[in-house]
Structure 1
Amino acid sequence: MAKLQPGGRGGLLSMVSLPRISSSPFKELARRGAIALGLLLTTTLLVYVDRAAYSDNTAGDGISFIDALYYATVTVTTTGYGDITPVATHARLINALLITPLRIAFLVVLVGTTIEVLANQGSRSIRDSFWRRKMRNHVVVIGYGTKGRSAVNTLRRQGVSSERIVVIDDKPGAIEDANFDGLAAFQGDATRRDLLRRAEISKARQVIICLDRDDAAILTTLTVRQLNPTAGVTVAVREQDNVTLVRQSGASSVITSSETVGRLLGLSAIGPELGTIMQDMLTGGEGLEVHQRLATAEEVGQPPSAVTGERVIGLVRNGTLRRFYDQTATRVEVGDELIVVRRAQAPTAKDIQRALAD
């Protein structure tokens, strides 16, 4: 997939900013061809109306409409055989002041913009098609507001490449921000199936829905689940009353944003230090962070408490979460994923290099 050029917003990645190409190259060529034809006919009429001021040096039988069309054609295309020429002074002035600008406009419209359409629109179609063909097991983030950006930053810190994250939002500013952050983005309503298909939702591994309205989140969840029955779908809602409805719509996990914030406020009121620790774990990049990783060979067979440098608070075995106090989680087994609290990792040279590349 094309990447954003470092240091600016105008990288190649913006190629996939729009949900669809507004017009095909052939329609664009037809439109510009009609403009060129109009310029040609205007030149023809100018010559034909003033035909007495022109001389046919070959036949010598005067200027007919066909002769005027022929003269206009060879003139605007800069061929200029010289067999028909303006002889009157005013006709030469008209050629200099009117027909010459028409000739330049004709060349700009038909030649210059034709090359531009073929190069830009054609290559854009090819790159867009290539991008969609190679996109597999990616993460689609629907809604790139505060929650969406935070989710993307967390995914990156957890090792998800920017090339595997796709943003959908209906606001142009959010699309521009996503492109600036090095992400592929599509603008439009996420409840539209054609837009979701363009983002290759059926091949996505995870879908994160963080919209401003719960009813839009529910409808989007239904649409996503219809197109991809197996992906993990995480949805943020504002009201606790809507959690059950969102789960029934097909969400794998539901986060209540207002209740989560309210609980954090309550904990901070009871004990500011407790609130600080909770916020610390939810904020990446410094202090403590929560991380999920695959158990190493050295950890297999050991109790979770034997893991050094981290505190295991749960493990995932065969797709089931087992908390640290669960009697079935006394030993780490092959294939277990550990959920740990650890000290925030400073970015490595490899992480910095990848971020610069993105």
Structure 2
Amino acid sequence: MDVPGAKRVTGRVAVALTLAVAALSVGVGILGIVDPTANFGPVAQYIPPAISQTAGFTGSLTGFLMVMSAFGLRRGLRVAWYSTLVLLPITAGQGLVQATPYSVPLVVLSVVAFPVLAVARSRFDEPISLSTSQLAAGGALAGVQAYGTIGTWALRGERGFTGVNTMLDAFYYTLVTSSTVGYGDVTPVTQEARLFSLSVLVLGTASFAVALGALLGPALEARFASALGRMTQSDLESLDGHVVVAGYGDLTEPILTELAASGRQFLVVARGGTDTSELRDRDIDVLAGDPTDEKTLDRAGIERARAVVTATNDDGEDALAILTVRETYPDVRVVAAATEQENEPKLRRAGADTVISPAVIGGRLLARSALGDEHAEEEAADLE
């Protein structure tokens, strides 16, 4: 049987191992650059210092890429899973080539992390979601770099640029020019080359600025959202022993009042719109999303929740939410409110542990009060 808790633990172990490999790759790589002499292991005598130093430099770069992959894994991105799966054998190979005592943990952790990552594959199924503006910004940045590299290569030597002998030199010049670094080791010597350099400078600077704005904008927006009282991913992950209120409606209000009075931490999962904005204005924790969606409920921390309450005005949606919870987390307690009395057995069959019909309770109290029961009004007041 597939246990969600075990999947989550395996995913966290995979992320932790990836971060550890990234840190070791950067550290061992820097040490390899400082001291490129390979002097440890059976292959050390066959590795020239230049190769070992190159492995150290590329190992540092690989380590930084691994850090990016680890953050992607933390978000559950499938593309990060693929990139990490590709990078782990590379870090292991770089550790072997560097052949120092410090590279042994790097090789070992890389080998250990690979099967753990493979086992946790189902944990990382989130597609990467890039907006049209982000795709356009990335395409513009790549296009400008390609334009500059090809143009610089075409104008190499006496035709335009001194110091450009390879395609890598052309790319290097394009990158340092468009990023406004400009070391001066590659120089345009003809009128055409100078005009071309100006075009690379203008287009490159603009593409970098647009790309940074498009890629960092959503992150800054998330920070502002957090400052305005919206829950961040770390806030959601810290929830434990809370009550999840799946959906929002007229029946939900007294539930929220009672939960707030009890001091128990709770989270409302509701579709985005006016309701979520109003709840946030009242300092109520809200997760905007579909309460019948498994991924949304997973973000709400259902597996760590004390109970789930469904009490919207739509029994059909409540039943679907209950089915989703039961399918994924069969052990969590589910309490439901039935708007229509005839739907009580249906909600029970869907998987609710307790089903309460406010209409039935209210009707019985009204009938008792009409028949002269003096305690009916008191009981109703206690329920308010």
Give the TM-score normalised by structure 2. Answer: 0.49
Find the aligned partners of 2:273 and 2:158 in 1 and give their Cα distance: 56
In structure 2, relative to structure 1, the CA distance for the partners of 1:150 and 1:93 (3 Å cut) is: farther
Where does residue 72 of structure 1 map in the other structure? 174
Q: Which runs of 5+ in 2 are unaligned?
A: 1-73, 81-127, 227-231
Find the aligned partners of 1:240 and 1:187 in 2 and give their Cα distance: 29
In structure 2, relative to structure 1, the CA distance for the partners of 1:230 and 1:111 (3 Å cut) is: closer
More displaced stretch, 111-120 vs 147-156: 111-120
Where does residue 66 of structure 2 map in the other structure? none
C-alpha RMSD of the superposition: 4.8
Letter in 2 for 1:39: V
1:22-60 superposed Cα distances (whole Å, 9 cap, x missing partner): 96795689967655322211334565678899633568x
Where does residue 182 of structure 1 map in the other structure? 283
Corresponding position: 1:150 with 2:254: yes
CA contact (8 A) 2:160 2:193 kept: no
The equivalences for 1:286-301 within 5 A come to none
In structure 2, relative to structure 1, the CA distance for the partners of 1:247 and 1:187 (3 Å cut) is: same
In structure 2, relative to structure 1, the CA distance for the partners of 1:99 and 1:205 (3 Å cut) is: same
The equivalences for 1:1-20 within 5 A come to none
Where does residue 236 of structure 1 map in the other structure? 337
Q: CA deviation at 1:267?
A: 8.3
Where does residue 198 of structure 1 map in the other structure? 299
The equivalences for 1:259-270 within 5 A come to 259=360
The equivalences for 1:47-196 within 5 A come to 55-57=160-162, 69-80=171-182, 81=184, 83-85=186-188, 87-88=190-191, 92=194, 95-96=197-198, 98-108=199-209, 128=233, 131-132=236-237, 134-157=238-261, 159-161=262-264, 164-196=265-297
1:59-83 superposed Cα distances (whole Å, 9 cap, x missing partner): 8xxx997775454233113232153
Where does residue 124 of structure 2 map in the other structure? none
Q: Determine helix, strand or coil for the equivalent of 2:205.
A: helix
Letter in 1 for 2:249: G
CA contact (8 A) 1:208 1:235 kept: yes
Q: CA deviation at 1:142?
A: 0.7
Find the aligned partners of 1:111 and 1:201 in 2 and give their Cα distance: 36
Letter in 1 for 2:353: S
Q: Which runs of 5+ in 1 are unaligned?
A: 1-19, 284-358
In structure 2, relative to structure 1, the CA distance for the partners of 1:68 and 1:281 (3 Å cut) is: same
Q: Which has the higher strand share?
A: 1
Letter in 2 for 1:79: V
Find the aligned partners of 1:261 and 1:54 in 2 and give their Cα distance: 90
In structure 2, relative to structure 1, the CA distance for the partners of 1:72 and 1:223 (3 Å cut) is: closer
CA contact (8 A) 2:319 2:347 kept: yes
CA contact (8 A) 1:168 1:186 kept: yes
Find the aligned partners of 2:362 and 2:338 in 1 and give their Cα distance: 12
1:267-294 superposed Cα distances (whole Å, 9 cap, x missing partner): 89999x99986765444xxxxxxxxxxx
Where does residue 107 of structure 2 map in the other structure? none
The equivalences for 1:210-221 within 5 A come to 210-221=311-322
In structure 2, relative to structure 1, the CA distance for the partners of 1:100 and 1:236 (3 Å cut) is: same
Letter in 1 for 2:180: T
CA contact (8 A) 2:267 2:286 kept: yes
Q: Determine helix, strand or coil for the equivalent of 1:144.
A: coil
Identity %: 27
In structure 2, relative to structure 1, the CA distance for the partners of 1:174 and 1:50 (3 Å cut) is: farther
Find the aligned partners of 2:320 and 2:186 in 1 and give their Cα distance: 71
Letter in 1 for 2:174: A
Corresponding position: 1:223 with 2:324: yes
Where does residue 8 of structure 1 map in the other structure? none
Q: CA deviation at 1:261?
A: 5.9
CA contact (8 A) 1:168 1:190 kept: yes
Count of residues in Structure 1 that have an aligned counterpart in Structure 2: 251
Find the aligned partners of 2:160 and 2:319 in 1 and give their Cα distance: 76
What is the aligned counterpart of 1:40 among 145, 148, 170? 145
Letter in 1 for 2:142: L
Q: CA deviation at 1:204?
A: 1.9
CA contact (8 A) 1:235 1:254 kept: yes
Between structure 1 and structure 2, the one with the greater Rg is: 1
CA contact (8 A) 1:33 1:110 kept: yes
The structure, 1 or 2, with the larger RCO (C-alpha pairs under 8 Å, 6+ apart) is: 1
Find the aligned partners of 2:129 and 2:343 in 1 and give their Cα distance: 47
More displaced stretch, 229-238 vs 200-209: 229-238
Q: CA deviation at 1:155?
A: 1.0
Q: CA deviation at 1:143?
A: 1.0
Find the aligned partners of 1:171 and 1:196 in 2 and give their Cα distance: 15
Q: Determine helix, strand or coil for the equivalent of 1:146.
A: coil
Find the aligned partners of 1:246 and 1:143 in 2 and give their Cα distance: 15
Where does residue 115 of structure 2 map in the other structure? none
Find the aligned partners of 1:160 and 1:229 in 2 and give their Cα distance: 26
Find the aligned partners of 2:210 and 2:360 in 1 and give their Cα distance: 59
Q: CA deviation at 1:144?
A: 2.2
